[in-house]
Amino acid sequence: MPISLEIVTPDQLLLSAPVDMVVIPASEGDMGVLQGHTPIIVMLRGGIISTYHGDAIDKQMFVMGGFAEVTGERCTVLVDEAIPLNELRREDAENRVRDAEAAYAHVSGNDADSNQQALDRLQAAQAMVAVIDARATDGPGRRT
């Protein structure tokens, strides 16, 4: 049985479709979500969301973090930003890393919330570079 998936940014609904499975980049590690999953709310880290139809990956996108709410019937993913994998560019990712490093360097050590937000942003940008590197070594048969 499919699970209903919605991926939402502050500006738009990116995807609303039934999928056989979705794999999300939960803060503690990648998490597969199927119909009948135990209800949970998880934080997301920067990484890839993959949707499956049968055993095959149908769609993939890179997300910069967010939250997911999972019930037995649906998975709602709320993200600040999502980028289709084929639109990721090394120069953009490296610029994000530089900007995030600069922001992290300027955060007061006494402000735990700002420190964590800056660190999350830096780690998401670094994850984006890692995804680009991995895709470059996968060759022409890579999935997108």
| Lookup: tokens for 96 | 């994000």
Residue 139 has a pLDDT of 56
Helix (H, G, I), strand (E, B) or coil at 18: strand
Mean pLDDT of all residues belonging to the chain = 92
Q: How many alpha carbons fall within 13 Å on the CB side of residue 28?
A: 5
Confidence of residue 141 (pLDDT cuts 50, 70, 90): very low
Helix (H) or strand (E) holding 50: strand 47-53
Cβ burial, residue 52 (10 Å; 0-12/13-18/19+): middle
Rounded to 5 degrees, φ, ψ at 15 are -155, 135
Chain-centre distance of CA 24, in angstroms?
7
Decide if 65 contacts 31 (C-beta within 8 A).
no
pLDDT tens digits for 4-53? 999 999 999 999 999 999 999 999 999 999 999 999 999 999 999 999 99
Only one residue has tokens 């609904």, namely 13
In DSSP terms, which residues pair with 49 in a beta bridge? 61
